[in-house]
Amino acid sequence: MSGAWEGSDRVKRLPPGWRKLRARILKRDPICKICGVRPSRFCDHIVAKADDHSEAGLQGVCGPCHDQKSSAEGNAAQRENPRPGRTRPPEQHPGIK
Ligand SMILES: [Zn+2]
């Protein structure tokens, strides 16, 4: 495969006019909404994976906070899907109700 600019299929999930929307968010939130210190550089979805592309569901964040949020979301997803095995079903006690 060649010509993969961006190197991710996340781009395909973004709506038409995303660039304009992103510019509006960064203009609305010039300072990172998470740390409140660094200038915003990314347009972040407040609720991850909700695919809410409305302005209310987006916030401007700086690079470091964006990275931190992304990796935290990755860890949470792993926790929700623990490796199979090693979990026994609770013992049934017949006769006890
Ligand atoms: Zn920040």
Give the pLDDT confidence of 49-69 residue by residue, as tens digits: 777 788 999 999 999 999 998
What pairs with residue 39 in β-bridges? 31
* pLDDT of 2: 45
Contact (Cβ atoms closer than 8 angstroms) between residue 73 and residue 48: yes
- Provide the 10 A C-beta neighbour count for residue 26: 18
Q: How far away, in angstroms, is 25 Cα from ligand 1 center?
A: 15
Q: How far away, in angstroms, is 67 Cα from ligand 1 center?
A: 9
Contact (Cβ atoms closer than 8 angstroms) between residue 37 and residue 12: no
Q: What's the average model confidence in pLDDT over 58-85?
A: 85
pTM of the entire structure? 0.63
Per-residue pLDDT reduced to its tens digit, 7-54: 555 556 778 888 999 999 999 999 999 999 999 999 999 987 777 788
Q: How far away, in angstroms, is 54 Cα from ligand 1 center?
A: 21
Q: How far away, in angstroms, is 38 Cα from ligand 1 center?
A: 5
User: Rounded to the nearest 5 degrees, what angle is found at the Cα of 5, between the Cα atoms of 61 and 49?
Assistant: 45
